[in-house]
Amino acid sequence: MARFVTTEKLNELFDWLENLGLDVLYIRDSEDHRDVNLKYLTGHPEDASLFIDVQNRQTVLIPWDYQLSNNYSEVDQVINIMEYDGGLIPATFETLKSIVNSNPKIGVPKSIPYFYVRTIIDQIPNAEIIYNPQEIDTKLDQLRSTKSPHEISLLKKSVSISNQLVEEMEELMNRHSPNNIETEVDLAIFVENRMRELGAFGTGFETLVASSKRSWQIHTYPRADQLSMYRPGLALIDFGVNAEGLTSDVTLPFIIGKMNNKMKVIVETVEHAHNEAIDNLREVNFLHEVAEVAMRIIESKKFKMPHGLGHGIGLTVHDSPDLRKKPTHEILLKNWTDTRLEEGMVFTIEPGIYEKDVGGFRLENDVIITSKGPQVITNSHPIFIDL
């Protein structure tokens, strides 16, 4: 495996950092502070430091697991921490000192803990720390917000498994047999085991299953319980498949038993918002515009949607970009930037309505923006279960 960033985007990052006046960009991923940009820029899965050496235009990786880096990373140099007395931390800062001059400008994103900033200052007293997440983290997000053909091909493996799971869940739930699926936990276990049988690395995130008793909560806690899935009302499962490092994200809604009038309005409204949002991806210039289309449809029926319309997917389940309406509050507007719709973006469309008396109904599919317009790549749809 190799890095996910393209050569063109990596060169764009080098140029941008040079224009910003940085000598080095320091990225670190660990159990206590995850940063997906390490995986994006190197291919190395986790637990390492990375120096983007701007002057020499090279990438230097200091992994905790040196052997793992041989299998996964694509960088200019890999440092073996076993060659340093004390291991990872001495290796990291000795390497940094060997890269920079006596008065370096070192950029740190928001994921770098204060301890490591203090250590840089201790080891390189004349270093200038450039902590500017508004620029640095935003630039890294922007690079990840569009996917290369290679990334999309990897993502489609996750999507293919997701679509097969949708078909199998619909069949199993309609059997209504205790030997198949009875409780929320049963459904979660089935999905998580089955995706591995079909070739996935694992889940993209913790599977969320909610019967009609709990589905009015947006993200139920616990994520799955021992409650029967066959309680009348609106139920759902929200799951992601990670087959090649990139995750899908699908919410499959269930209508259990006969619908009352309120349920019918909710189902019809969410489907309308979902379909109109996707259709309007052909017409809008900015992502907030499509979110506002869906919000207006839901609010026209006197309901509220307490979350954004969608989000990017990729190396994380909540990747760039976000699809949410433009804020009106001055605090939020101060940091707001309109995001233009671009070819190569991959994101979810997931309108939802949540009412305690009947449950929650969210319809979520994954969409790629192509040169010919939006392409819906997952096949989530309402599943009707007779009792």
Per-domain residue ranges for the chain? 7-144, 149-385
Q: Is the pLDDT of residue 180 over 70?
A: yes
Comparing 42-46, 85-89, 312-316, which segment has the lowest mean pLDDT? 85-89
Confidence band, pLDDT 50/70/90 cuts, at residue 38:
very high
**CB half-sphere exposure, 16, CA atoms < 13 A:** 17
Alpha helices in the chain (DSSP H): 7-20, 36-42, 66-72, 88-99, 114-123, 133-144, 149-175, 184-197, 261-280, 287-300, 330-334
Dig out the tokens for 334 from the structure.
């101060």
Q: Is the pLDDT of residue 139 over 70?
A: yes
Q: Is the pLDDT of residue 163 over 80?
A: yes
Q: Give the pLDDT score at 86.
A: 87
Q: Report the run of H or E that residue 254 belongs to, with start and end.
A: strand 250-256
Q: Give the pLDDT score at 179.
A: 65
Q: Using the structure block, give the residue that is written with the tokens 């206590």.
A: 32
Comparing 44-58, 218-232, 326-340, 373-387, which segment has the lowest mean pLDDT? 326-340
Cβ 245 vs Cβ 39: under 8 Å: yes
Q: Using the structure block, give the residue that is written with the tokens 């759902």.
A: 236
- Of the segments 86-90, 123-127, 267-271, which one has the largest average pLDDT value? 267-271
Dig out the tokens for 139 from the structure.
């630039």
Dig out the tokens for 59 from the structure.
């990438």
Confidence band, pLDDT 50/70/90 cuts, at residue 204:
very high
Cβ 256 vs Cβ 382: under 8 Å: no
Say how many C-beta atoms besides its own lie within 10 A of residue 132's C-beta.
Answer: 16
Q: Is the pLDDT of residue 102 over 90?
A: no
Please tell me the distance from the alpha carbon of residue 24 to that of residue 124, in angstroms, as a whole number.
Answer: 13
Q: Is the pLDDT of residue 1 over 90?
A: no
Q: Give the pLDDT score at 178.
A: 58
Please tell me the distance from the alpha carbon of residue 351 to that of residue 275, in angstroms, as a whole number.
Answer: 10
Pick the CATH number of 7-144 from 3.40.50.11030, 1.10.3720.10, 3.40.350.10, 3.30.413.10: 3.40.350.10
Please tell me the distance from the alpha carbon of residue 366 to that of residue 364, in angstroms, as a whole number.
Answer: 7
Q: What is the DSSP letter of 243?
A: S
pTM to 2 decimals?
Answer: 0.94
* CATH number of this structure's domain 149-385: 3.90.230.10
Dihedral, CA atoms, 316, 187, 238, 254, nearest 10 degrees?
160
